Structure formats: structure tokens, C-alpha cells
Chains A and B, each alone.
Chain A
């Protein structure tokens, strides 16, 4: 299996405050990897550092190419789609415009049109609301829209920051089901950050546990889920 994303000794800073303390992990092509940890452990910062949205040092390689010192908008062009915390919806624009924006770096207009239809097939509720202002969608619908917007890039890697946040449990099940399907059928590698460890471990194949800016545990998602000690001490369930 080839390594798609390789992060080495990543340190990140918010002003003078260091948030990541030499974090290393990798993600295989085609895998669905999850990054677990408590509030403030550095999960979001890790994703933001990959997209150069926070000052960081260390090595980040995507498909063998270094991502350091590239601007956020350039990193997107490598095929990395980031669904940020809070979903990043363009609230004043329509649902369809949000999808078009996801594909704004692509040149193949025919492909974009057919991909929008594909998204409507994945998420029928978006089709019903395609002319509606995106800010009027419910939280769950906005999360669907955010995932669909990310997929419009035809990404090789999708970064998801707390997709379950603020959603009803049933909606979360739905969403995670779709993520699994996207990973298997569309061959999109996924790195998902979650506080809902139980659910994330069911979905993922690989898992890393972060504590105060360092990786403290890694391995097969099933093994971690079955290890009571890890579950109790790090994941809290």
C-alpha cells in the first residue's frame, strides 16, 4: 500500500503558543483514517496545519511532494479537500452555487455538471433545496452540503473536521454511512477528526490518538476499539 499523506515532526503555533509538539503520522492511499482525542488535543490544528492555515514547522508530504510553504488555495489544487469545523458554508449563496464553488478550480464544465447531479443522487435533500439560500439549511443538511462541496473537487484526500458536531445521532449515522460509501466506491482517502470516538472507530480502518499535541497511540481501528484500557484512558467510553 502506498503512503498518500506523510506528516513528520509537525509543530504548530498560534502566536507564541505551541499547539502541536512534534506530531508524526501517515495515511495510506484509499484508507479511512481517524484522528481521535479530547477537546484541545490538537486535532483541528493538525488539519489546519496540513492546509497551511496555521504557522507550522516539520514535514508534510502529499503523494511524495512537500506541502510546506504553499498557500492554502494552492494546496487545494493537489486534490486535498478540507471540510472545516463549522462546515464553512457560503450561507448567503444557494445550495447549487456552494457546489459549483467546490469545483471552482476545475476546468471541465461537463464533468462539473454531471458531478452536481451525482451529489444530488448521494444527497437527495440537496436537490430539493438547490435554489435555496444555504444558510437556511438545517445543521445536518449543511454538513451534507459541506461534504458534497468537498467532493466536487474530485479530491484524492478529504479532511473532515468533526463532521458529527451538533448533529442528531440518526443524522450522524446517515452521514457516516455516506462517508464509508464515498471511501469505498469513489476511492477517496479520508482523514476524519472526531470527538465521537466510538462511531469514528466503527467507520475507520486506521486510528491515531492525540493528546496535548502528540500522538500517543496508533493502530488498526478495530484493535483500538477492542482495547478497553485505551478506550477508558483516552477515549472516555
Chain B
């Protein structure tokens, strides 16, 4: 039983990271109808920036906040420079854009910081959390930061005017323009926020997977699995999907004979495919009620 609880809690901790990645993917998908394959690389680059800031002697939380701000600005810049001009281009052109972005960021990180694996600090320590052997303080910190982030985002989208405007721009762009919303900037803002959310995921997972240019590859696939599971049209679904995938991954690795650590990733891919077959809109993908 203790093994089970342990695996579920650890699953929730990594699930929190998948939830962040899934949320970032969904936010951009809602805004421009494309999957951002480079989301993980963007998060990785942000994490390197925070590491570099710390190398220069800036304390953890200051580096954390500074990285958030820089990531937000970088996200907006990427949208303005690369994807705004592609807005009316065919799907494949956009896909090529994402792959290019992936390759550019991955190689630049390797060029600047090289490919050797680096230690990444945690502000929470890695002692047993509250004296319990079930979960470490860093894992508890991952969950805590993610929950705070999600609450903050919920209030932003539900109770602020700019959040309302962003939702409107994503759901009916033409009507949004007709009430005076600058939809183009709302998309850029979505990119900025998604990039910042991704950077949080990167900084929280880096102490676990260690810092290197390919650190987010697996994480992003789990994030995609989570987004598909929850439904690409539902931010709430993406979050729930993230936690479910995290738990599922750990339990499968522990209890299904022969799965172990090596086969965990294929399990995520199998999950994506099964969900798409059985429930194409995902668990919470919105079935929009419409009367005409």
C-alpha cells in the first residue's frame, strides 16, 4: 500500500509538470489552432537562462521571476517575428515553422551551454516532506507552485477584463474585433503566457531530469498526451490530463510487469492513440452547444 501511495504522490508531482506543459500547448492551440512542437525547447531554453542567471550569482527566486519575465517577452517576440506572418499560411508551413523553431532553440542551447548534463538547484531541498518517506520536499514544492499557478490563471481568465478579452478573441475572433478587441495582440499575449508557464515547468523539473538541451523531449510528449487526454480545447482538461498521465505513468511503470522505466514513454504514446480513437475530443474537450 505504501508503494502505491508513494507512486501516486510521485505521479502527481511529475503530473503537475505535464499539466503545465499541456496548458501551455493548449493556450497556443486555442489561439492559433496549431500544436507548438517547440514548447518543450522553449521551456528548456528558459531553464538554461535561469541557470545562467544563478551562475552569475543571482539568488534562486530572483532568477525565477526574472526568467518568467524574460520568457514572457521572448514568447511575444517569437509570435510577432515568426508566427504572425504565418497566420494565414497552410498548416504544413506552420508545422515547418515549429520544427525550425525546435531545431534553432535546441542547437543554440547546445552551442551556448554545450550538451553536458548540469545539476540544477531546488529551493525546496530534497528531504522527506513533513518527515514522511512518501514524497520529497521538492516534489511537494512542484505541486505547490503548480497549484498556485493554476489558481492564478483561473482568476486571471475568469475575473479580469483582459482575461475575458483573451477568451473572446480565442473563441470568436471576428466578433471580438467588432467589440474592439485587438485579437492580434491577444494571440501574442497568449504566446507570452504560454512561454512563461512552460518556463515554470522547466525550472521545476530540471532538478529531477537534470539540465541539458534535450531535457524536455520526454516531458513534452507527456504534455501532449495530457492535452489530448483532457481535450485540446479545454485548459481545465489539459490540467486534469496532466495529473492523470503523471499518475498513470508511475503506476504502469511499477505494476505492469516488463514496463519499467524504459517503456514508460511508449505507454504515453499508446495513451494518445487510444484516446484519439475512443474519444477524439478528449475527456473534457468541449462539445459546444449551439442552436441555430
Q: How far is B179's CA from A77's CA once the two chains are assembled, in angstroms?
A: 9
Q: How far is B175's CA from A138's CA once the two chains are assembled, in angstroms?
A: 19
Chain A hits for B47, CB < 8 A: none
> Nearest chain B CB to A216's CB is how many angstroms away?
29
Q: How far is B290's CA from A85's CA once the two chains are assembled, in angstroms?
A: 16
> Nearest chain B CB to A88's CB is how many angstroms away?
4
Chain B stretch 199-249: residues in CB contact (< 8 A) with chain A: none
Chain A hits for B177, CB < 8 A: 53, 71-73, 76
Nearest B residue to A78 via CB reads B180
Contact A101 B289 (CB under 8 A): no
Q: B174 within 8 Å of A by Cβ?
A: yes
Chain B hits for A91, CB < 8 A: 171-172, 288-290
Contact A76 B291 (CB under 8 A): no
Contact B289 A104 (CB under 8 A): no
Q: A69 within 8 Å of B by Cβ?
A: no
Q: B104 within 8 Å of A by Cβ?
A: no
Contact B172 A153 (CB under 8 A): no
Contact A135 B180 (CB under 8 A): no
Contact B178 A88 (CB under 8 A): yes
Count of A interface residues, CB-CB < 8 Å: 33
> Nearest chain B CB to A99's CB is how many angstroms away?
10
Q: B161 within 8 Å of A by Cβ?
A: yes
> Nearest chain B CB to A94's CB is how many angstroms away?
11
Contact B168 A135 (CB under 8 A): no
Most chain A CB within 10 A, of B165, B167, B174, B175, is at B175
Contact A135 B179 (CB under 8 A): no
Contact B171 A90 (CB under 8 A): yes
The 8 A CB mask of B134-165 against A (1 = contact, 0 = none) is 00000000000000000000000000010011
Contact B179 A153 (CB under 8 A): yes
Contact A104 B174 (CB under 8 A): no
Chain A stretch 75-121: residues in CB contact (< 8 A) with chain B: 76-77, 81-82, 84, 88-93, 97, 100-102, 104-105
Q: How far is B288's CA from A133's CA once the two chains are assembled, in angstroms?
A: 10
Contact B175 A73 (CB under 8 A): no
The 8 A CB mask of B266-292 against A (1 = contact, 0 = none) is 000000000000000000001011111
Q: How large is the interface on B (under 10, 10 to 19, 20 to 34, 35 or more residues)?
A: 20 to 34
Contact B291 A73 (CB under 8 A): no
Nearest B residue to A83 via CB reads B178
Nearest A residue to B165 via CB reads A104
Q: Are A90 and B175 also in contact (CB < 8 A) when A76-B180, A104-B165, A153-B180 are?
A: yes
Nearest A residue to B233 via CB reads A92
Contact A73 B167 (CB under 8 A): no
Q: How far is B290's CA from A74's CA once the two chains are assembled, in angstroms?
A: 30
Q: A214 within 8 Å of B by Cβ?
A: no
Contact B179 A92 (CB under 8 A): no
Q: A51 within 8 Å of B by Cβ?
A: yes
Chain B hits for A138, CB < 8 A: 291
Contact B174 A84 (CB under 8 A): yes
Chain A hits for B172, CB < 8 A: 88-91
Chain B hits for A93, CB < 8 A: 167-168, 171
Q: B183 within 8 Å of A by Cβ?
A: yes
Chain A hits for B292, CB < 8 A: 139, 166
Contact A135 B288 (CB under 8 A): yes
> Nearest chain B CB to A20's CB is how many angstroms away?
20
Nearest A residue to B290 via CB reads A135
Q: B74 within 8 Å of A by Cβ?
A: no
Q: A136 within 8 Å of B by Cβ?
A: yes
Chain B hits for A88, CB < 8 A: 172, 174-175, 178
Chain A hits for B291, CB < 8 A: 135-139, 142
Contact A104 B161 (CB under 8 A): yes
Most chain B CB within 10 A, of A51, A73, A81, is at A73
> Nearest chain A CB to B7's CB is how many angstroms away?
37
Q: How far is B167's CA from A187's CA once the two chains are assembled, in angstroms?
A: 32
Cβ-defined partner of A77 (8 Å) among B164, B171, B180: B180
Chain A hits for B290, CB < 8 A: 91, 135
Contact B289 A135 (CB under 8 A): yes
Q: B182 within 8 Å of A by Cβ?
A: yes
Q: B35 within 8 Å of A by Cβ?
A: no
Contact B168 A101 (CB under 8 A): yes
Minimum-distance CB pairs A-B, first 3:
A88-B175, A76-B180, A105-B180
Using CB atoms and an 8 Å cutoff, list the residues of chain A in contact with chain B: 51, 53, 71-74, 76-77, 81-82, 84, 88-93, 97, 100-102, 104-105, 133, 135-139, 142, 149, 153, 166
Q: List 17 A-B contacts (CB under 8 A).
A: A71-B182, A73-B177, A76-B180, A88-B172, A88-B174, A90-B168, A90-B171, A90-B176, A91-B171, A92-B286, A93-B171, A101-B164, A101-B176, A104-B165, A139-B291, A139-B292, A153-B180
Using CB atoms and an 8 Å cutoff, list the residues of chain B in contact with chain A: 161, 164-165, 167-168, 171-172, 174-183, 286, 288-292
